[in-house]
Amino acid sequence: MPNRYSNLKDFNIHELEDVAKEIRDKILKTVSKNGGHLSSTLGATDLIIAMHFVFDVEKDPFIYDVSHQAYAHKLLTGRWKDFKSLREFKGISGYTKPSESPYDYYCAGHSSTSISLAVGSAKAIHLKGEDRIPVAFIGDGSMSAGMVYEALNELGDKKYPVVIILNDNEMSIAKPIGAISKYLSQGMAGPFFQKMKRGTEHLLEHLPESATYLAKRFEESLRLITPGLLFEELGIEYIGPVDGHNIEELIETLSIAKNMGKPVIIHTQTTKGKGYEIAEGTKEHWHGVGAFNLHNGESSKKSSSKKNATTIFSETLVSLADNDDKIVGVTAAMPTGTGISDAMEKYPDRFWDVAIAEQHAVTSMGSLAKEGFKPFCAIYSTFLQRGYDQIIHDIALMDLGVTFAIDRAGIVGEDGETHQGAFDISFLRAIPNMTLLAPYSEGSMIEAMRFAKDYNHPCALRYPRGSFMVDNKESTPYLLGKSELIKEGKDILFIGYGNGVGKAIETANYIDDKEIAILDLRFVKPLDKSKLKELSQDYKEWFIFSDSAKAGGVGSAILEFLSEEMIKDINLTTFEYDDKFITHGNTSLVEESMGLLAGQLAIKVKNKINI
């Protein structure tokens, strides 16, 4: 970090604007090489500079929602030199991370948590009698989640001093109304109006009811022409909209909010991709990017001849929907990421994006299933955690035929701890009425989805980010609870689940000393007990391959089966993830650090069976 940034509060406006240009340039050069979140973090740069100018990062909690937009914060807090390692293995995280810097207040990666965290920190500050103020930075997309309003509801009641910065880069407010609203709301937030308001409130206590009514109506009529009526009704002071790229105006507004001594939300309007014309505007492609050519914006990634799993899901979903008008679907703010966007475009009345609202997405599909439709609920593994109660209470309890298409299962790479798809098998396997299956190739993905389409009970199929390890377009149909032995052998049995089948095949290729049988488990719930009993007669060394947590995972399911059937002569080893969170970085490097590359696993197998 340039030494002069440590004296940011001494800068004038023109110097701060130069800082913004330097930071954007640093972000662009780094992200174009490493990939990362781009448009949102470029748009937030001026806001974050103003935050650091007005508030004290040494003591005030800076709480970033999702925190994918906090690159400028990282650059302002001592990580300028190390920023070149952004998202690399053992490098700077793409999200806030307290173990990386004391200026990162909280670990974040999922949306809509910032205001709850701010309320909690405000309570702690109050109890400790400290002079600090939490600052929550939240995007308009995150405002679609119910947790935000739960937090606002309490904050409006308790009135803890909290400043919420709403970074609005999507909403549209007409210029005339916006200008009037900004003028009025800033005026209302200023010390003169606040002093007058307190005096008026005291006076009204002693006036007739009719006078009180008229005064209240006057204030409310002013509020009605600002877009902050909802927040005011919740008891939160509102300022805005404010130009999120006018640093001078931002500093003035933040200073007012800081001194109000109550909860206040500042509505700022920003442009995604600010400073990089190619990415400016509401272009979803530039939200999260891989490496790209900085001059023309073209991807630097070499195209793969293998189709990725999300594309296979997308194509198959549309194909199934073409032939069955009962097929519907939903996603939670990730239409492109989950591949449901093509179905939404072709059948806009049957496929929906409900914004960042996983709980609502899950429950709403329950009603559709009850009405005779076949819903596909497409959500990343890491985000499905947010709808867990709804899966249990609103889908499984009713035994409704909703299919959960779980994208990004397994290690997802550079996004790291908050996004790894490690836990879905473990948390879904415990739910009654739930069926769990996983494909390992294009052909098996198509067959798994055909099975799910006609299955009138809750089920979940998982698949990885990127391509399957096995490039095979052919597959036999899926039958409930039935596995498939895809390779005969002797002595040793490799059991693969989902993309783990590919890892089993690749590992077996490193071992020439033994003939290894390979089982495509297909279903982890229900298990193919008859097949496993049969195989227990011929194979005594079993090895489990699955991109999932070991605790409660595939190995656990099979150990439970062996215990129930009192089969005691099987030596079982599982190569699932150990009981710890998985760091960020290139997937191969992360797997290597965990000893999970095929060559490393082959050595473990050889050591286990002494060959």
Which residues are part of the catalytic machinery?
Answer: 272, 358, 386
Q: Which amino acid is at 9?
A: K
Closest CA to 527 of 569, 561, 555, 494: 561
Q: Give dist(CA 101, CA 98) in Å, integer.
A: 5
The amino acid present at 423, given as its one-letter code, is F
Measured in whole angstroms, how far is the alpha carbon of residue 443 from the centre of its chain? 29
Would you say 512 and 546 are in contact if contact means Cβ atoms under 8 Å apart? Answer: no
Q: CA distances (Å), 241 to each of 182, 234, 269, in order? A: 5, 18, 7
What's the rounded Cα separation, in Å, for the pair 35 and 292? Answer: 8
What are the Cα distances from residue 327, in Å, to 368, 380, 393? 10, 20, 23
β-sheet bridge partners, residue 269: 168, 243
Q: Are 494 and 543 in contact (CB under 8 A)?
A: yes
Residue 29, φ and ψ in degrees, nearest 5: -65, -40
Q: What is the 3-state secondary structure (H, E, C) of 131-143?
A: CCCCEEEEECHHH
- If 0-12 CB within 10 Å is exposed, 13-18 middle and 19+ buried, where does residue 184 land? middle
Q: How much of the chain is in helix, strand and coil states, percent to nearest 5?
A: 45, 15, 40
Classify strands 135-139 and 62-64 as parallel, antiparallel or unpaired: parallel
Residue 25: HSE in the Cβ half-sphere, 13 Å Cα cutoff: 6
Residue with tokens 């009698």: 129
In the numeric block, the tokens 């210029």 are attached to: 175
Query: What's the token pair of residue 37?
Result: 């979140």
Helix (H, G, I), strand (E, B) or coil at 524: strand
Q: CA 432 to CA 192: how far, in whole Å?
A: 61
- List all residues 6 or more positions away from 156 whose beta carbon is below 8 Å from its beta carbon: 234, 235, 236, 263
Q: Are 330 and 387 in contact (CB under 8 A)?
A: no
